[in-house]
Structure 1
Amino acid sequence: MGQLYHTTELIGMKDKHITLNKVFQRETHIEVFASLDYHPPKCRHCKGDQIKYDFQKPSKIPCIEIGGFPSLIRLKKRRFQCKFCRKV
């Protein structure tokens, strides 16, 4: 786990809600697999409580070069659904 911590320092990730899962060095780039998860905020529409939605939406984020290689962060972001108005 020490290597993943040093990877976050190298990339410059300062968000405490991002958890690194795996780091792979490919021939042409470095791939970092991470997930973003935090306590759900209040609903924007009705100000009700939200619950965690079933899945995490994956996204690809190109990032700075790490050690001369371009890097790609594959981040899974948590989605939330309102208990009352059911908006995601």
Structure 2
Amino acid sequence: MYDHSDKEKIQFYSQKIRKLILLILFAMIVLTCGFYVALVLLSYIGENSIFTNRYPTSIPGIDDQFECENSDKIWRNHKCWDYKHDPSF
């Protein structure tokens, strides 16, 4: 019923299937690890980004101390300062 060549074919294809399954598992592990590494790096970069920190900014249209303090800003050195802006302002 089965001759020698059929057994060799079955053995050949079963080895190929095993290798393919191992390759797929390896690729899944690498992709999963890469995803989690990227996620950790992005969360670290997001927390320490210069755009999440706030810096003092001199507001150019307000030259009056009364107007500055009424808009919840700080008057210092004859300038109106705001501490709510990131560097992209």
Same fold (TM over 0.5): no
TM-score, normalisation: structure 1: 0.19
Which structure has more strand as a fraction of its residues?
A: 1
TM-score, normalisation: structure 2: 0.19
Which structure has more helix as a fraction of its residues?
A: 2
Q: Which has the larger radius of gyration?
A: 2
Q: Which has the higher relative contact order, 1 or 2, with Cα contacts under 8 A spaced 6 or more apart?
A: 1
